[in-house]
Amino acid sequence: MPFIPHTDTDVKEMLAAIGAPAIDSLFDEIPASLRIQSLAGIPEALTEMEVNRLMQSRAQRDGRPLNFIGAGAYEHHIPAAVWAIVTRGEFYSAYTPYQAEASQGTLQLLYEYQTMMASLTGMQVSNASLYDGASALAEACLMAVRANRKSKSARILVPTTVNPTYLEVSRAIAEGQQLTFETVAYTPGTGTTAASAFNAYSGQDITAVVIQHPNFFGLLEDVDAITDWAHANGALVIAVVNPMSLAILKPPGEWGAKGVDVVVGDGQPFGVPLSSGGPNFGFMTTRMEHVRQMPGRIIGRTVDLDGKPGFTLTLQAREQHIRRSKATSNICTNQGLLVTAGTIYMSLLGASGLEQVASTCQRRTSELVAALTKVKGVKLAFAGPRFHEAVLQLDRKVSDVIEALASRGIIGGFDLSRRYPELGNALLVCATETRTDEDIAAYAKALAEVLK
């Protein structure tokens, strides 16, 4: 019996101790009319060898095409040490550290993670992670409503350069609590959001302003001016950032005169594989004054009975298992295993390693843009400063081009034409440090063939 250790003797002895004639009698409190006898639709069991063959064949069907999409999930080199440690049973098969004395490894790692994320984002405190970047933005908007006590409107302003899926997720999660999301258009020529675009809202009750930087197009926003506009108008500022970019970009804690109030994003670039989009981890950092409004697990350092330092879950009274219907969120788990990967990744790379990775990504994307815009029928949509993504405009329907590239082993980019019809046949491309000169040349050659 797969994964079940009982011998026939065990079963007999156990049933005798219970005083039950058979295992089936343990289910005698379930109404007989509801019982089922078998699960006809489930296939027969496979051995490990058989399941390995099956999964290898499924995996091979997808192969390993050359990837040039970012759009919220980025392919970076992952040091071998990261997942060798993450998949150690002591991390992999432990649970939420309710028994702190038996979970000091997980707890100390999370404390180190909180320290790293707070510093990277230029904020004072971090939680122990949320599900992903999109749901972290939703939680940040809910948090802003609690934290901005002067505002009664629960109105959130969101530039259209914020990842459109992040906005959809925020709506799905937060609209039940009467938050409203209003979009602010970007400047057509630049692909960035002008601070003056917010002037239409001056003097109104706005709870929070969201700024994604680099924005969904990969471009750098005027973060100082937008942050200052929001604070001058009584709104909190929520920054959505790619953590990798913070190795070279000014952290949100230093935007504008006062810095932002909440920072969220997806930690996937730090040691987490693409893996069809998950599991990733969402991060959230904030100012100390808002810590009690922050959702999710938080780890604190304290002392034990002997006065020696140790780590424990803290501020639990915010959470659902104590507050129930008045909790800051219904969130229960974090993404501990992925945070483990992220923390090891940050430790291996350090500040200078991250700077090298981020810088190389930016350079690679510039080279990609240069190579692809040489192809007839391709032009660059926005020329401003960017991190590691760019919007290209093609001379024909993007989805057809993507399919044609896929058949040549190249995942060419993210089709923007549905979300941003005003951009025409627009394609969002990305090259990280993992793309070589040869990779870029291969893409340019394939694109030239497709657009011929």
Interface of this chain with another protein, residues 121 to 180, rule: CB under 8 A? 124-126, 128-129, 131-135, 163, 165-166, 168-169, 171-173, 176-178
The residue from 193, 207, 212, 334 that contacts another protein (CB under 8 A) is 334
3-class DSSP assignment, residue 69:
coil
Shortest Å distance, C-beta 240 to another protein = 11
- C-beta of 83 vs 448, nearer to another protein: 83
| Separation of alpha carbons 406 and 281, rounded Å | 28
DSSP secondary structure, 334-346, as one string: --HHHHHHHHHHH
> Strands 66-67 and 410-411, how do they pair?
parallel
Q: Residue 190 Cβ, how far from another protein at the closest point, in Å?
A: 14
Candidate list 234, 278, 373, 448; residue touching another protein; CB under 8 A: 278
- Distance in angstroms (rounded) separating the CA atoms of residues 279 and 268: 9
- Binding region for another protein (CB under 8 A) out of 189-197, 226-234, 244-252, 370-378: 244-252
Greatest alpha-carbon pair distance for the chain in Å reads 81
CA distances (Å), origin 210, targets 43, 73, 119, 138, 164: 48, 20, 21, 11, 12
Residue from 185, 200, 232, 351 that binds another protein (CB under 8 A)?
351
Minimum distance, C-beta of residue 197 to another protein, in the bound complex (Å): 19
Cis peptide before 279 (omega within 30 of 0): yes
Question: Residue 164 Cβ, how far from another protein at the closest point, in Å?
Answer: 10
Site for another protein in 300-319 (CB under 8 A): 300-306, 308, 310-312, 314-319
Q: How far is CA 349 from CA 87, 244, 271, 275, 394, in A?
A: 20, 11, 10, 22, 37
Residues 408-447 that bind another protein (CB under 8 A): 411, 414, 433
Q: Per rule CB under 8 A, is residue 234 in the interface with another protein?
A: no
Q: Give the phi and the psi of residue 215 in degrees, each rounded to 5.
A: -75, 180
Closest separation in Å from C-beta 144 to another protein: 15
Residues binding another protein: what is the number (CB under 8 A)?
204
Q: Please give the structure tokens belonging to residue 199.
A: 């002037």
21 binds another protein (CB under 8 A): no
Of 182-190, 296-304, 371-379, 419-427: span binding another protein (CB under 8 A): 296-304
Identify which range of 197-205, 234-242, 245-253, 438-446 contacts another protein by CB under 8 A: 245-253
Stretch that binds another protein, among 151-159, 181-189, 360-368, 374-382 (CB under 8 A): 360-368
Rounded Cα–Cα distance for residues 124 and 252 (Å): 11
Q: Are 263 and 165 in contact (CB under 8 A)?
A: no
Q: Which of residues 22-81 bind another protein (CB under 8 A)?
A: 23-24, 26-31, 33-36, 38-48, 51-52, 54-65, 67, 69, 71-73, 75, 77, 79, 81
Look up residue 200 and give its DSSP letter: G
Enter the tokens of residue 297: 């697990």
Cα–Cα distance, 207 to 220 (Å, whole number): 24
Phi, psi of 231 (to 5 degrees): -65, -40
**Residue from 161, 212, 233, 362 in contact with another protein (CB under 8 A):** 362
